[in-house]
Structure 1
Amino acid sequence: MSRPRSAPPHRRSARRAAAGTTATLPAAALLALTLAGCATSSDTPATATAGPADRTLTVLAAASLRDVFTELGDEFEDTHPGVTVRLSFAGSNDLADQVLAGAPADVLATADEATMARVVDAGDAEQPTLFASNALVVVVPPDNPAGITGWTDLADPDAKVVICAVAVPCGTATAQVEASAGEVHAVSEEASVTDVLAKVTSGEADAGVVYGTDAALAGDDVRVVPTPETADVVNRYPIALLPTADDAALAGEFVALVTGTVGREALAADGFGAP
């Protein structure tokens, strides 16, 4: 789908590839990568020093934000010459652990308030701003091999159902639905919502519980099963500056982009709700 001022296809593909390489990095590896990225640039000699306008902004974001934050990262670079936005996507809990372990970063965006509160309470994030919301849906492969028709079918031991681990926001939300609508017989619990979706689209799972935004991005690769039971469980997404930010003003401008008109329009286009 098209949105204002999006990056050319070749540029977006390159960014996606780069983002994928940092998605699951542990804190120590992220530290080394960030320091290396700040020290040199791939298109300048190693001995050259970066000019005052050459800056890197490191953004840690929940896996469900991959598509929209990739676009917003391109938008930010377009309006900030000399700035490179380095995006790292993973489950919110993993990202919080990285920050708490001292990984250098400028901005953190999680898929729920509880995970962000853990970082704020430790003094490792500034006061966050809510910028989006998301709700769960059940997805199945297009041919629906297990014949899943509703939430109660997820309890069938013969169905291969995949959900998020309870440690990550999508798993916490799934547990809330289970508490009121019945437990799921899950054969696997994944570290991020994108991992759940991948198992469904690859045919490894008969059904998965994911965010509505992930289902929308998957398009015809999945079918959404009506589950009114999930409608009342909504995750709200916060974003915050980190005290480790090299340039707090620059980091604040990225937060302003996400929470402002351009960010709201991009998020809405990807299916996110208002916070």
Structure 2
Amino acid sequence: MTTRTDRRRTFRLTGGCVAAVLLVGGCSSSGGTAAGSSPASAQSTPSVTGTVTVFAAASLQESFTQLGKQFEAAHPGTKVVFNFGGSNTLAAGITGGAPADVFAAASPATMKTVTDKGDAGTPKVFVRNQLEIATVPGNPKNITGLQSLTQPGLKVVLCAKEVPCGAASQTVLTNANIQFTPVSYEQDVKGALSKVELQEADASLVYQTDVKSAAGKVTGVAFPEASTAINDYPIATLTHAPNSAGAQAFVAYVESPDGQKVLTDAGFLPAG
């Protein structure tokens, strides 16, 4: 005797295609592809899961931290772990074998040390940045530009010459023929900024994005010579990335309209 349940099963198999058959194109004259879907592309796109380790310049800390949260929300099952610091230190770590998936540097020169070793793919500039003077809140020393940094007794902090913000500082000071002896050289831009925030220095040369991120803790003084040393920021996936799919997806997110909005809102200049 044919039961009611048997008739339902027969109808499903003869009167329409089951989901499994649709996936292999066994019933539909159009190949079993639902409107708007693309099985071929879905199969060719690697899934993004797991930890994505990003080595990034210190000046990217605030914006990349936000980007990391947005990326995790867009890719459930992922976790972005950051290592922020001086670009030269990060580059040395990568060429020394430190496990990482993505490198975002504050200058092409530091990226080149990684690509020259074959440790990164082709980099792409994703934003630009330029220097600004950070002073103690309210600018009590009345610093108006680069020349003001030569005031007797003024305590000025610079980034170390080998890191991108330090190299840019040396360029603008040399171009303007301005010389002074800083009270210290810091290993990354956040270290230079911190000295002013703690009022251990009267001023420092940092990026305009750092001044913006420290709103209320420092006062920014723009100067025209900054345009002579604008830094390009390149990003690349690393050759030995433990999570290659995650690395590619993170770089794509940084370059996406959503990623670029976060960066420009933080004060970075567009790459173009």
CA contact (8 A) 2:56 2:83 kept: yes
Unaligned runs of 5+ residues in structure 2 are 1-46
Q: Which residue pairs with 1:174 in the alignment?
A: 169
CA contact (8 A) 2:168 2:229 kept: yes
Q: Which residue pairs with 2:123 in the alignment?
A: 128
The RMSD of aligned alpha carbons is 1.4
SS of residue matched to 1:170: helix
Paired residue for 1:215, among 198, 211, 218? 211
SS of residue matched to 2:130: strand
Detail structure 1 runs of 4+ shifted over 3 Å in the superposition: none
Paired residue for 1:194, among 182, 190, 207? 190
Paired residue for 1:87, among 58, 82, 85? 82
Q: Which residue pairs with 1:31 in the alignment?
A: none
Aligned AA for 1:216? K
Paired residue for 1:232, among 228, 234, 240? 228
How far residue 148 of structure 1 moved from its aligned partner, in angstroms, is 2.1
SS of residue matched to 1:231: helix
Give deviations 1:12-67, integer Å, cap 9, x for gaps.
Answer: xxxxxxxxxxxxxxxxxxxxxxxxxxxxxxxxxxxxxxxx9851110000000001
SS of residue matched to 1:204: coil
How far residue 84 of structure 1 moved from its aligned partner, in angstroms, is 1.0
CA contact (8 A) 1:216 1:270 kept: yes
Give deviations 1:109-129, integer Å, cap 9, x for gaps.
Answer: 000011001110111111101
Q: Which residue pairs with 2:17 in the alignment?
A: none
Aligned AA for 1:117? K
Matched, 1:102 2:97: yes
CA contact (8 A) 1:154 1:185 kept: no
Q: Which residue pairs with 1:140 in the alignment?
A: 135
Q: Which residue pairs with 2:151 in the alignment?
A: 156
Give deviations 1:137-183, integer Å, cap 9, x for gaps.
Answer: 11111133433222112123411000100110000000100111112
What is the aligned-residue identity percentage?
Answer: 45
1:113-124 alignment, distance < 5 Å: 113-124=108-119
CA contact (8 A) 1:156 1:185 kept: no
Structure 1 pair 53–163 and aligned structure 2 pair: CA distance change class (3 A):
closer
Question: In the aligned structure 1, how far is the partner of 2:142 from the partner of 2:227?
Answer: 22
User: TM-score w.r.t. structure 1 length?
Assistant: 0.78
1:16-35 alignment, distance < 5 Å: none
Q: Which residue pairs with 1:58 in the alignment?
A: 53
Aligned AA for 2:126? F
Matched, 1:246 2:242: yes
Aligned AA for 2:87? S
Question: In the aligned structure 2, how far is the partner of 1:208 from the partner of 1:191?
Answer: 13
Matched, 1:273 2:269: yes
User: TM-score w.r.t. structure 2 length?
Assistant: 0.79
How far residue 247 of structure 1 moved from its aligned partner, in angstroms, is 2.6
CA contact (8 A) 2:48 2:246 kept: no
CA contact (8 A) 2:53 2:82 kept: yes
CA contact (8 A) 2:48 2:249 kept: no
CA contact (8 A) 1:61 1:109 kept: yes
Question: In the aligned structure 2, how far is the partner of 1:54 from the partner of 1:130?
Answer: 26
Matched, 1:262 2:258: yes
Unaligned runs of 5+ residues in structure 1 are 1-51
SS of residue matched to 1:98: helix
Question: In the aligned structure 2, how far is the partner of 1:242 from the partner of 1:184?
Answer: 39
CA contact (8 A) 2:111 2:234 kept: yes
